């Protein structure tokens, strides 16, 4: 019996370790990767049909835009090809662009309805619009997204593309969910800021709708809901941090927006179950004075603009913010 115990206990420890390693690998894969949402999916997948709420509308033309074109460009550091729609302003001499940044499980189609806001408020005379598919989305190349860390690089190369192709040098970025996290990282990462500065490119305004406000807290929340043991979550987070250059401690809005280089407007639904308001509230004390937060009762994740009680107020807030000199 003693011999069996001596043989069996190490074996059990080994098997347990292999099991934890397997769970860790699976959970890490969930953090970094997800199946791309193609441009066809929002019209075929019942869940996405409801989530995107496009009602069959597929292009800017379906939102009253007559002039638009598809453009392809590189997110050069990872050798990826991205694709997006460029929509020129009514004033073709405009030097500003409004760049939308969709979230996880999404693509350029999700922000299409915001073209109505752009047109109805006169922002279409001030801003060109660019609707990109960030990596792993739509018609862009599949790749790991790093919970928004790599989205920031895609946004960086998007601004460079718009400058090289259209001579645009001033930008507003409008991010949703994980795209909002990527937008905040773009404001914070020294290498990205230095690259923009070297080209004379300026981000003048940022809107963050339903932002992913704390990556680690969100991952731990997801782990608890899936029944992932704490030690496994710890291992996965440590592994994930190594893949994003040790940036995980800064992937929270309190750190990223402590001293942003431009005004930031945060729009948060109080009924948001995906990026809950309590998570944002925990970050708010660290925000710099350039950050404004507006909350909307009863509104869920990335659905504030669609909410009949809030559409007018949301529109006015965003239009006034983006129209300021």
Residues 228 and 230: their CA atoms lie apart, in Å, by 6
The reply to whether 65 and 201 lie within a common domain is yes
> Residue 53 corresponds to which tokens in the numbers above?
């709420």
The reply to whether 205 and 79 lie within a common domain is yes
The reply to whether 112 and 194 lie within a common domain is yes
The reply to whether 20 and 153 lie within a common domain is no
The reply to whether 210 and 230 lie within a common domain is no
The reply to whether 289 and 146 lie within a common domain is yes
pLDDT over 70 percentage in the chain = 93
Could you count the other beta carbons within 10 Å of the beta carbon of residue 6? Answer: 9
Q: Please tell me the predicted confidence (pLDDT) of residue 23.
A: 61
**Number of domains comprising the chain:** 2
The reply to whether 287 and 183 lie within a common domain is yes
Under the banding of pLDDT at 50, 70 and 90, the label for residue 22 is low
Apex CA 164: angle with CA 161 and CA 170, to 5°? 80
Residue closest to 236 by CA, chosen among 10, 14, 51, 31: 31
For residue 12, pLDDT over 50 is answered with: no
CATH code of the domain in which 263 resides: 3.40.50.1820
For residue 2, pLDDT over 50 is answered with: no
The reply to whether 164 and 125 lie within a common domain is yes
Q: Helices 2-32 and 230-243: crossing angle, nearest 10°?
A: 50
Range of the domain at 226: 1-32+219-246
Q: What is the pLDDT of residues 307-322, one digit of tens each?
A: 999 999 999 999 999 9
Cβ(241)–Cβ(288) below 8 Å:
no
The reply to whether 291 and 176 lie within a common domain is yes
pLDDT over 90 percentage in the chain = 89
Q: Please tell me the predicted confidence (pLDDT) of residue 324.
A: 86
> Residue 279 corresponds to which tokens in the numbers above?
């998570």
Q: Please tell me the predicted confidence (pLDDT) of residue 110.
A: 98
Residue written as token pair 């309590």: 278
| Overall pTM surpassing 0.85 (yes/no) | yes
Pairing of strands 127-133, 80-87: antiparallel
Lowest mean pLDDT: which of 27-41, 49-63, 109-123, 193-207? 27-41
Q: Helices 230-243 and 215-226: crossing angle, nearest 10°?
A: 140
Residue 15: its H or E element? helix 2-32
Q: What is the pLDDT of residues 96-106, one digit of tens each?
A: 999 999 999 99
Residues 65 and 140: their CA atoms lie apart, in Å, by 23
Q: What is the pLDDT of residues 71-105, one digit of tens each?
A: 999 998 999 999 999 999 999 899 999 999 999 99
The reply to whether 92 and 229 lie within a common domain is no
The reply to whether 121 and 270 lie within a common domain is yes
The reply to whether 226 and 264 lie within a common domain is no
Lowest mean pLDDT: which of 22-31, 153-162, 278-287? 22-31
Q: Please tell me the predicted confidence (pLDDT) of residue 27.
A: 83
User: What CA dihedral angle connects 42, 43, 48 and 51, to 10 degrees?
Assistant: 90
């Amino acid at each position: 019996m003693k011999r069996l115990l001596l043989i069996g206990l190490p074996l059990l420890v080994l098997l347990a370790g292999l099991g934890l390693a397997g769970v860790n690998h699976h959970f890490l894969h969930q953090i970094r990767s997800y199946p791309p949402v193609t441009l066809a999916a929002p019209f075929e997948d019942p869940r996405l049909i409801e989530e995107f709420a496009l009602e069959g509308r597929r292009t800017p033309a379906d939102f009253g835009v007559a002039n638009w074109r598809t453009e392809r460009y590189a997110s050069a550091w990872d050798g990826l090809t991205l694709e997006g729609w460029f929509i020129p302003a009514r004033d073709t001499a405009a030097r500003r662009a409004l760049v939308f940044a969709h979230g996880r499980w999404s693509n350029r189609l999700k922000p299409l309805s915001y073209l109505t806001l752009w047109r109805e408020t006169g922002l279409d005379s001030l801003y060109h619009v660019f609707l990109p598919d960030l990596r792993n989305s739509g018609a862009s190349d599949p790749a790991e997204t790093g919970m928004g860390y790599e989205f920031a690089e895609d946004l960086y190369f998007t601004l460079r593309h718009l400058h090289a192709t259209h001579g645009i040098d001033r930008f507003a970025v409008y991010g949703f969910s994980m795209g909002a996290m990527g937008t905040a990282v773009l404001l914070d990462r020294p290498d990205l800021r230095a690259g923009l500065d070297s080209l004379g490119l300026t981000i003048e305004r940022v809107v963050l709708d339903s932002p992913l406000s704390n990556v680690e807290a969100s991952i731990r929340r997801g782990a608890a809901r899936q029944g992932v043991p704490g030690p496994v979550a710890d291992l996965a987070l440590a592994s994930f941090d190594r893949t994003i250059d040790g940036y995980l401690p800064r992937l929270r809005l309190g750190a990223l927006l402590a001293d942003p280089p431009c005004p930031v407007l945060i729009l948060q639904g109080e009924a948001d179950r995906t990026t809950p308001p309590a998570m944002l509230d925990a970050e708010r004390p660290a925000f710099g004075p350039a950050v404004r937060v507006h909350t909307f009762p009863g509104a869920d994740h990335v659905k504030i603009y669609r909410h009949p009680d809030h559409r007018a107020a949301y529109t006015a807030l965003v239009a006034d913010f983006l129209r300021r000199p």
